[in-house]
Amino acid sequence: MAVPHYTPDVFRTFDWLWSQMDEALRAVGAPASLRASRGFPALNVGATDDAIELVAFAPGVDPATLEVSVDRGLLTIAGERRSALAELPEGAAVHAGERPSGKFRRAVELPRDADADRIEAKYADGTLRVTVRRKESAKPRVIAVQ
């Protein structure tokens, strides 16, 4: 496996909107537990020459409630995770309740060469992989010299 490079130039094209996400959670009245762990779902982001790749670690989410959208260069992953502690049988006792639940939303600003029309999302084993293709015009080209 190739050791990935840390590329500061690419990193600068991303702007992580933590505060915006936190505000969005507050607006929908998400439970305090989720607000506290505001990194749900956790995100890893990388890039190839052809695409930007995001992996969101969102276990136990009904894929039908997962929403991936792009608006003016801002990619948003939203959904809802049901609490396992919401409907308990009578006499049940909760010994640990660590798993976050409720509505979630995370937003990532895409680099300028991202193609909003060519985005694929796939949910498997509790991870959501989003692939955003780069625009053809942004790829390096060889210009013939006259």
Partner 1 sequence: MATENPVALRGDASSQENAAPIVPLVDIIEDTSGITLIADMPGVSKDRLDIKVQADRLFIEGEARVDVPAELKVFHTEVDRPRYRRTFTLSPELDSAAIDANLKDGVLTLRIPRSQAAQPRRIEVQVG
**Residue 16 in the binding site for partner 1 (CB under 8 A):** yes
d(CA 39, CA 92): 30
Q: Which of 19, 91, 142, 143 binds partner 1 (CB under 8 A)?
A: 91
Contact 101, 35 (CB under 8 A): no
> Under the criterion CB under 8 A, does residue 64 sit at the interface with partner 1?
no
The nearest distance, CB 138 to partner 1, in angstroms, is 16
Tokens of 6: 């840390």
Cα separations in angstroms, 119 against 9, 100, 114, 115, 138: 23, 28, 9, 7, 16
Q: Which residue ranges make up the site for partner 1 (CB under 8 A)?
A: 1-7, 10-11, 14, 16, 39, 41-49, 51, 53, 55, 57-61, 63, 84-85, 88-89, 91-100, 123-127, 129
